[in-house]
């Protein structure tokens, strides 16, 4: 339905959506809640990074809530980058948003992003590749596969993020990631192996472990 009307509300804000991006979901609002809890100073000029920015719902909502912050969004899809740019303009945060094309599957993908960043957020693809066709039809048939496919075990993106996080995070910087049901133990192992200290998880509205926090 969101694709038909071309818009979906997230955190009370209007986001333009097309089949080039995932439809923003209420579960993802948990990440915004955790960010506000861990970064209580709304007026500080924080630097944010969103890995896999999609529609921009995470990064642009954070920039809306933190008026002195600036943010960078990385995205593989050029069509999705266009949607995120439109949403940045609609929400009045375009002058504080930098959108960068990139692919975290490539070597040294993180080196062009600048930094360091006070907060890195991501809702990466976390569905096992073989399970995508078994998702609800409105997801499997219409939402972008690249934003769903997390590789054979659903964890490929987390490995890339964990490897790059120490170089991207500022001192005492935070990494917040969304994850799928039952994935906490394996992602904790991945993050700890990369030298990250992990906190959480935080549960979504349905009581499912949804967000992990990590520091370096």
Structure tokens at 164: 């790059």
Q: What is the pLDDT of residue 79?
A: 95
Structure tokens at 51: 């890995």
CA-to-CA separations, 145 to 10, 69, 95, 104, in angstroms, rounded:
21, 31, 30, 16
Which residues of the chain have a pLDDT value below 50?
Answer: 140-142
What's the whole-number average pLDDT of the chain? Answer: 91
Q: What is the pLDDT of residue 142?
A: 44
Q: What is the pLDDT of residue 49?
A: 98
Q: What is the pLDDT of residue 216?
A: 87
- pTM of the predicted protein model: 0.93
191/107 Cα distance (integer angstroms) = 19
Each residue's pLDDT tens digit, 191-214 = 999 999 999 999 999 999 999 999
Q: What is the pLDDT of residue 26?
A: 94
Q: What is the pLDDT of residue 147?
A: 54
The residue assigned the tokens 């005492």 is 172
DSSP 24-66: P-GGGHHHHHHHHHH---TTS--EEEEES-TTSHHHHHHHHHS
Each residue's pLDDT tens digit, 137-147 = 555 444 555 65
Alpha-carbon torsion (186, 46, 167, 49), positive or negative: positive
Domain ranges of the chain: 2-215
- The architecture (CATH level 2) of 2-215 comes to 3-Layer(aba) Sandwich (3.40)
Each residue's pLDDT tens digit, 116-155 = 999 999 999 867 666 656 655 555 444 555 655 556 787 9
The residue assigned the tokens 């009045």 is 92
Q: What is the pLDDT of residue 140?
A: 44
110/105 Cα distance (integer angstroms) = 10
């Amino acid at each position: 339905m969101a694709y038909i009307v071309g818009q979906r509300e997230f955190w009370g804000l209007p986001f333009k959506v097309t089949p080039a991006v995932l439809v923003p979901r209420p579960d993802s609002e948990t990440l915004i809640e955790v960010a506000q809890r861990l970064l209580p100073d709304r007026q500080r000029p924080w630097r944010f990074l969103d890995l896999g920015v999609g529609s921009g719902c995470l990064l642009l909502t954070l920039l809306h809530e933190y008026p002195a912050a600036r943010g960078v969004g990385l995205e593989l899809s050029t069509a999705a980058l266009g949607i995120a740019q439109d949403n940045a303009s609609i929400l009045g945060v375009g002058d504080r948003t930098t959108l960068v094309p990139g692919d975290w599957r490539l070597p040294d993908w993180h080196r062009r992003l600048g930094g360091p960043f006070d907060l890195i957020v991501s809702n990466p693809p976390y569905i096992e590749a073989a399970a995508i066709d078994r998702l609800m039809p409105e997801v499997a048939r219409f939402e972008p596969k690249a934003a769903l496919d997390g590789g054979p075990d659903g964890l490929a993106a987390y490995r890339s993020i964990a490897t790059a996080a120490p170089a991207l995070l500022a001192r005492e910087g935070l990494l917040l990631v969304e994850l799928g049901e039952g994935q906490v133990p394996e992602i904790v192992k991945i993050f700890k192996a990369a030298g990250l200290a992990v906190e959480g998880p935080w549960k979504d509205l349905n009581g499912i472990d949804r967000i992990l926090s990590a520091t370096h």
